[in-house]
A and B are shown apart, each in its own frame.
Chain A
Amino acid sequence: MSPYIISLKNASQQYDGRVILDGINIQIRKGEFVTVVGPTGCGKSTTLRLILGAELPSHGEVTINGETLDRPNRDRGIVFQKYSLFPHKTVRENVMFGLELELFNLFDPIMRTRKWMQKRKEFRREADIYLERVRLIEHADKYPNQLSGGQKQRAAIAQAMIMKPQVLLMDEPFGALDEGTREEMQVFTLEQWKETQQTVLFVTHSLEEAIFMGTRLIVISQYYKHENGQEGAKIVKDVEIPWPHPRSTKIKNMTAFKDLMEAIRYEGLNPLHLQNIGNFDLSHKDSIRDLV
């Protein structure tokens, strides 16, 4: 069993007294592909931002490898739906950028010292390896706005992966893509995941996408019975997805797949059906049942 990387202990978040997330407990092992779904406004992006360190929880604790977070850093890479790439840099420069920042100082680039030129060449070579992997090498000198939506997201994945983060966070990365490209990107991302053994946390609003891609599925929802009037979303479902990787896109048409989708939609995403806290399906072996 691989060790835990991410751990959220009883993490809550509120803005101006309004509770968004209430007592979230998650433990994620290295190498997993965890997908997070939930109704609009349930706080799935907030959960992601807590793990990123862009927000600090109002209660509870978020740790990566046992360390509490204070701001985003290179341990956690991110791919957003939009604006992941820097528009003023070419695709290659975007991918190299993180490496360059590593040893940035004022003196070397201005003086163009031999050491710096050497390093730059190395970075370039490494960036090209990643660009090759995401099949963008022939577009390396283009600017992001000359790329298609799918290409942009592939470049963004390369840009995040080159830093070799402990966790790759993806915030609805394919939300802006059309159906065909979207499926292509799903298969592509799974390939990359298999190859690199990268831990991935993938937030999406598409249930189909979540079931198809993840090894583990977490549903966050505000639709459950509040006994003492307490609000805020909780984890209402935390399950392992049974089909082994690599998966064919055909499984999306299987009856079992559709049944699972329907079940989750009914339990977690339906505002008319409110579960009791005790009935949550937290059957994943790493999930923590919190009986408050």
Chain B
Amino acid sequence: MFGISILIYGIASYNRHKENPSDKLIPTAGQMAESFRKAIFQPVITEEYDEEGELIVTDQPRTLKEAYKAGRLKEMLKNGEWQLWKDTKASGYRVLIAVLFIFIGILLGLYMGMFPYLEKLLYRFVLFFDKIPALAILPILFIIFGLGETAKIALIVIGVAPTLILDTYLRVKEIPKEQITKGQTLNASTHEIIYKIVFPQIFPKILDTFRLNFKAIILFLIAGEALAAEAGLGYRIFVVRRYMDMATIIPYVIWISLFAFFIDYLLRRWIDKRFKWLENN
């Protein structure tokens, strides 16, 4: 299937370039490779001008090789001076913080399922909250939190956390009552019941839900970045859209997809390896 779609693309690209060599809509593989190479290997050059408006030529390295020779590779990587690296880092950071908050949400779901008074207090609220389309409140977020990181992270969290809270809650409810009584007869305290009996049983299932929702995380990330950002994978593809720079957009889309796929793959492998007891269920 992959082969066929690449082939069709190749033919379309070839035909269009035969008629118009400067066609931008369907870039050739070579063009994409070139722009991707630039994104990876060329540092984002901060241009400085002197008083007369003349470009100051700095000794800033222009390729990975130069940077390595100048002994500044590590430092430059750290400061995110390569476009792709910089974008990935900015986006990754946002996803990471959002995921942290989402995991706090999972704990909330866990407690909601275990304690009836928390359930009474929060269940309906979360159920309603879950129905609010997160994108619709994006303007509100931008107004409240400004255009900075907070709004973008909040968008991801608000978009995905309710689903995971509810999923966790339902999973807790699925645990047979017998298991909890059994725990009590083994002298387990409430916290031991939560963290040694209930949570380990639902955790792999929650991770699966998280996997399925990772797509939504990326979606909200790109939506947030598209509107206001200085760097980020979503930001980049929306910026270069203005120049119809398909040669950059397509590799970026592929990169984002690979990124999501890779995380999904790692999680899947880890779940299979870590939770052997699930196998015969």
Contacts and interface: CB of A to CB of B under 8 A. Distances in A.
Contacts of B196: 97, 101, 104
Kindly name the residue among B176, B188, B275 whose own CB sees the greatest number of chain A CB atoms within 10 A: B188
A264 B50 CA distance: 107
Contacts of A89: 277
Contacts of B187: 73-74, 98, 101-102, 163
Contact of A72 (B179, B181, B201, B281): B181
Contacts of A159: 186
15 contacts: A52-B185, A54-B184, A73-B184, A74-B187, A77-B185, A78-B185, A86-B179, A86-B201, A97-B186, A101-B196, A143-B277, A145-B281, A146-B280, A160-B185, A163-B186
Contacts of A102: 187
A52 to B, nearest CB: 7
B200 interface: yes
Nearest to B281: A145
A90 B187 CA distance: 19
B18 interface: no
B185 A88 contact: no
B192 A71 contact: no
Kindly name the residue among B184, B186, B188, B281 whose own CB sees the greatest number of chain A CB atoms within 10 A: B186
A202 to B, nearest CB: 16
A191 B241 CA distance: 79
B276 interface: yes
Given A101-B187, A102-B187, A54 B176 contact: no
Interface string B183-220: 01111100010001100110000000000000000000
A287 interface: no
Interface string A71-104: 1111011101011101111100000011001101
B54 interface: no
Contacts of A149: none
Kindly name the residue among A87, A88, A163, A165 whose own CB sees the greatest number of chain B CB atoms within 10 A: A88
A77 B188 CA distance: 13
B275 A88 contact: yes
B190 to A, nearest CB: 10
Contacts of B192: 101, 104
B178 interface: yes
Nearest to B192: A101
A87 B186 CA distance: 16
A78 B182 contact: yes
Given A87-B281, A88-B277, A145-B280, A73 B185 contact: yes
Interface residues of B, number: 21
Contact-size category for A: 20 to 34
Contacts of B279: 143
A87 B198 CA distance: 11
Contact of A52 (B179, B181, B186, B280): B181
Contacts of A143: 276-277, 279-280
Interface in B111-157: none
B201 A163 contact: no
Nearest to A165: B185
A74 B277 contact: no
Contacts of A160: 185
Contacts of A84: 178, 182
Closest 3 CB pairs of A and B: A98-B186, A72-B184, A83-B178
Given A82-B176, A146-B280, A87 B201 contact: yes
Contacts of A76: 185
Interface string A48-61: 00001010000000
A121 B85 CA distance: 49
Contact of A87 (B184, B185, B277): B277
B176 A101 contact: no
Contacts of A54: 181, 184
B201 A88 contact: yes
A268 B169 CA distance: 43
A83 B182 contact: yes
A83 B198 CA distance: 13
